[in-house]
Structure 1
Amino acid sequence: MIRGKAWVYGDDVDTDVIIPGPYLRTKDVRELACHAMEGLDPEFAKQVRPGDVIVAGKNFGCGSSREQAPLALREAGVACVVAKSFARIFYRNAINVGLPVVEAAVVARQGEVVEVDLAAGKVTVGGRTSLGTKIPDFLLEILQDGGLVAHRRKEKEGAL
């Protein structure tokens, strides 16, 4: 179960505002985290706390296919992104880097407590529960292993 404070954003949050272009050259994930959401919410990286949850509208993560966008959010401490819908490449990149994502139409206010049951695709905010799209078991397994690279390592070790 994921439980954290809501950071609420609208529709069409693109990867350019999640992690602006000038920071894409760094390979230091901590540096990426310092600039997460900077293009939309300059205070986000300073105020987000481990376990917090982003709640957004439709088409979250649209724009470029930069893997740094979900990576920056994960490293900043975001435990999950809940959105009405995701850009497909962002959704898969998030899974690949170990950032949980849930498609669900959720209404939340900034700072409200959000609870996410990944296995059930259930999101609860202020006593209201929404059933979202359940993450397929094979993707849930990748998330539980910490992302695709960690998952493949685990598979390789199990094969020996």
Structure 2
Amino acid sequence: MAAAPTAAATVASTAVLAPRPAPTSAFLRRTQATSHRHPILKCRRAGTLTPAAAAGGSSPSSAVFHGEVFVVGDNIDTDQIIPAEHLTLVPSKPDEYRKLGSFAFAGLPTAAYPTPFVDPGEESTRYAVIVGGANFGCGSSREHAPVALGAAGARAVVAESYARIFFRNSVATGEVYPLELHDAGAWKECKTGDVVTVDLGNSVLINHTSGKEYKLKPIGDAGPVIEAGGIFAYARKTGMIASKAAA
């Protein structure tokens, strides 16, 4: 599913993603874990979204993600992303959130994917970006699927197309950016372990290992929601609902 394009204006200033001492959401917990455990993963995030910018429809999605890529094929379903036996874990509990990340992609067949997304005994992944084929996130409507990927430390999924519910859950939770490729075939040309950069501002995936670049479709209106950390964080930030402090 492609997100609707918006105005091209972006926020120029950026800030280095840093750990926060008292996370207040699953997104912030994952961000903190990533910055502590993965110094190789670099993330540059856009400036704060203002209510005026939100009302005007402009997107601040100029984030840049850099690191190793994990490559999967077509029709990766939610059972492969997070097997059903792990759905008893509650993402709002920090220890269970981290545990959920340790099981990300545990349902992939080892014959086809001998390299694990998360190494045995670890809670987080070395892979900043996931590249996939068509119909990524098909299957059940479980919200745990994008949460598990985000809890493991992934920042973006780049695929040819998405199951609608996975795309929606990714945006609603603010866990990962579900980015769509303009053309098919990237997952056949990229290899797990390649070093890549995802540049949202220029809508491009750069594979530094192979030297190839792939055009992405703009994230559009979904960008500010993910940037804020999910639908409720976005609603509070833009004044649609009262902030927790005000409540």
Asked if these proteins are the same fold (TM beyond 0.5), I'd say: yes
User: How far, CA to CA, are the matches of 2:211 and 2:225 in structure 1?
Assistant: 30
TM-score, normalised by the number of residues in structure 1: 0.90
1:150 matched to which residue of 2? 233
User: How far, CA to CA, are the matches of 1:5 and 1:78 in structure 2?
Assistant: 10
User: How far, CA to CA, are the matches of 1:112 and 1:5 in structure 2?
Assistant: 5
Contact preservation (8 Å) 1:17, 1:38: yes
1:40 matched to which residue of 2? 108
Equivalent of 1:135, from 186, 194, 219? 219
1:79 is the counterpart of 2:155: yes
- 1:37 maps to a residue whose letter is F
1:59 is the counterpart of 2:135: yes
User: How far, CA to CA, are the matches of 1:41 and 1:6 in structure 2?
Assistant: 18
Q: Percent identity?
A: 40
Quote the offset at 1:66 in angstroms.
0.5
2:72 matched to which residue of 1? 9
- Provide Cα deviations, 1:31-89, integer angstroms capped at 9, x if missing partner: 2111110010673222722x611111111100001000000000100011111111111
- Number of aligned residue pairs: give it: 157
Moved over 3 A (4+): none
SS of structure 1 residue aligned to 2:167: helix
SS of structure 2 residue aligned to 1:151: helix
TM-score, normalised by the number of residues in structure 2: 0.60
2:196 matched to which residue of 1? 114
Please, which moves more after superposition, 20-29 or 103-112?
Answer: 103-112
- 1:116 maps to a residue whose letter is V
Structure 1 unmatched ranges of 5 or more: none
1:102 is the counterpart of 2:183: no
Please, which moves more after superposition, 33-42 or 68-77?
Answer: 33-42
